[in-house]
């Protein structure tokens, strides 16, 4: 490794093993906290950016890079506002030291120094239905009545596709795309963006039963969901869907007091997203499935579920490092391991 390529590692080593201990006289606990922070950043770069430690440099400390790292700690690791600010402070201290040792790094320090401390804010909450609540809800429509069968299919499809209310109502028969091996629903979302959502197993059976009853002779451009006025089929209005959803919500609440009384179509969208998140589906995939333009919108699901966050926190030891990441570092060989030992991060 060339001398100029070692600048980052030399400064990191001297900061952890000399500056904090000898020049600042910090306690062992404080030094461990700084080392932890830099180890977490190293893990983040590897897990989220595919940048191994032997390829890290000061480009990993850009303003946007550090801000993304802090959001990762908040959303993926469930860190508190106080912890985020401690991590930010440690990184600022490291970069300030680096700028004092090498003036060419002053701009790197000043960029990150401009990141304001996080303020304690109430976390957004995505109201969703559990699997048991969904089963209860789907059992409520009167299956001996035509409209009951329609209502049940509407709710099932809303859940299976994660579609917004208007996306559901705008769907036409020609939005159903069939091949020898798959059935997909073409959804026109916000900003005229189109996405394709696969329908699987039981959902396809429900779709076929609905089409056989409600669209026996319908043209291909007919709306999937409709109401009949003066003998004519017209596009179902949001108010119609809201009416029967709230009706079933009230009935479900009588059986299960924890069931939200004000059931609305977006709750099915939240529910499928939470189901996916709890099964370990990456947020980037959930973003594409839901048709979100930014992953920041999707991160609501990463901290609205207590059970999932608890599992994440249980995997963190009292020093705040993930066991699997630490174990992986012990198995790294060659140049990577040499640099870890050199910097004192093992």
Does pLDDT of 327 surpass 60?
Answer: no
For residues 13-39, give the mean pLDDT: 89
Query: Considering the domain 131-295 in this protein, what is its CATH number?
Result: 1.10.443.10
How confident is residue 305, by pLDDT bands cut at 50, 70 and 90?
very low
242 compared with 281, residue with greater pLDDT: 242
**pLDDT tens readout for residues 183-224:** 999 999 877 788 999 998 899 999 999 999 999 999 999 999
Pick from 122-126, 136-140, 194-198: least confident? 122-126
**pLDDT tens readout for residues 253-295:** 999 888 987 898 989 988 888 888 777 777 677 777 787 655 4
For residues 160-174, give the mean pLDDT: 94
Please state, rounded to an integer, the average pLDDT across all residues of the chain.
83
52 compared with 191, residue with greater pLDDT: 52
Does pLDDT of 90 surpass 80?
Answer: yes
- Could you tell me if 171 and 184 are in contact, meaning their C-beta atoms sit under 8 angstroms apart? no
pLDDT at 279: 79
- The residue extents of the domains of the chain are 3-123+305-343, 131-295
* pTM of structure: 0.53
């Amino acid at each position: 490794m060339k001398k100029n390529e070692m600048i980052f590692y030399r400064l990191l080593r001297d900061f952890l093993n000399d500056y904090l201990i000898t020049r600042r006289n910090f306690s062992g606990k404080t030094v461990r906290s700084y080392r932890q922070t830099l180890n977490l950043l190293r893990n983040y770069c590897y897990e989220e950016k595919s940048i191994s430690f032997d390829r890290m440099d000061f480009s990993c400390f850009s303003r946007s890079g550090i801000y993304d790292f802090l959001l990762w700690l908040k959303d993926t690791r469930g860190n508190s506002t106080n912890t985020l600010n401690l991590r930010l402070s440690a990184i600022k201290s490291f970069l300030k030291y680096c700028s004092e040792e090498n003036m060419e790094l002053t701009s790197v320090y000043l960029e990150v120094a401009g990141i304001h401390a996080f303020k304690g804010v109430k976390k957004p909450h995505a109201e969703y239905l559990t699997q048991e609540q969904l089963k209860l809800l789907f059992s409520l429509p009167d299956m001996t009545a035509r409209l009951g069968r329609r209502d049940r299919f509407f709710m099932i499809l809303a859940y299976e596709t994660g579609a917004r209310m208007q996306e559901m109502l705008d769907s036409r028969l020609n939005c159903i795309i069939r091949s020898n091996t798959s059935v997909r629903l073409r959804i026109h979302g916000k900003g005229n963006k189109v996405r394709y959502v696969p329908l699987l197993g039981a959902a396809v059976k429900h779709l076929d039963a609905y089409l056989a009853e409600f669209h026996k002779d319908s043209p291909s451009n007919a709306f999937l969901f409709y109401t009949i006025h003066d003998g004519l089929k017209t596009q179902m209005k949001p108010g119609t869907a809201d009416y029967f959803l709230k009706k079933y919500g009230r009935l479900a609440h009588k059986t299960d007091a924890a069931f939200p009384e004000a059931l609305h179509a977006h709750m099915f969208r939240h529910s499928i997203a939470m189901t996916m998140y709890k099964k370990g589906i990456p947020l980037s995939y959930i973003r594409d499935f839901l048709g979100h333009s930014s992953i920041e919108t999707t991160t609501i699901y990463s901290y609205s579920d207590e059970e999932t966050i608890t599992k994440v926190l249980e995997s963190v030891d009292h020093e705040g490092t993930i066991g699997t990441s630490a174990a992986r570092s012990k198995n790294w060989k060659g140049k990577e391991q040499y640099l870890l030992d050199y910097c004192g991060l093992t």
